[in-house]
Amino acid sequence: MSELHPRPARQRSWLEVRRRQLINAPPPVFRAVFSSVAVAVVLGGLFLAYDLALGSGARLPGGDLRTLAGIAFVVAVTGLGTWITYLVVPQPGRPGVRSGWSAALGLFAALPIAYLALVVLFQVVKPLFAR
């Protein structure tokens, strides 16, 4: 290729750009998202089991506390996701050093994941079990 006649860059589609971003995600971001998703999957399974048990007529101590359980789910996913990210993601440029940066990254990853997990649980997964 000569300097005088460079080839123009090929335009990538929106989907191809997003796929490349997903495959080449920076390790701190991947760790933050993965830790929050792992917590949301485990706690979401417990929350869904509780909801299905109450929906099938189970008598549990305290009665129907689904609203409180939903709030506790969001708080737990956010808190645990933030804490785990703080533990596994070092501050950029300072290997081995944990800081508020790591916790903030975890918080900004965990909060939307908690709400997305609720949507997936109750709009996708629960109807599969309710049949």
Q: What is the pLDDT of residues 42-65, one digit of tens each?
A: 999 999 999 998 888 888 888 888
Confidence of residue 39 (pLDDT cuts 50, 70, 90): very high
User: Which pLDDT score is estimated for 2?
Assistant: 57
Number of independent structural domains in the chain: 1
39 falls within a domain? no
Residue 92, pLDDT above cutoff 80: no
Contacts 24+ apart (CB under 8 A), 69-72: 70/118
pLDDT score, position 69: 93
pTM of the model: 0.79
Residues 115-127 have pLDDT tens digits of 999 999 999 999 9
pLDDT of res. 1? 53
Tell me, yes or no, whether 16 lies in a domain: no
Task: Please report whether residue 38 resides in a domain.
Answer: no
In a domain, 3, yes or no: no
On whether residue 93 sits in a domain, the answer given is yes
Alpha-carbon distance of 58 to 52, in angstroms, equals: 9
* CA atoms of 95 and 41, how far apart (whole Å): 29
Task: Tell me if 121 sits within 8 A of 48, measured CB to CB.
Answer: yes
Range of the domain at 89: 46-129
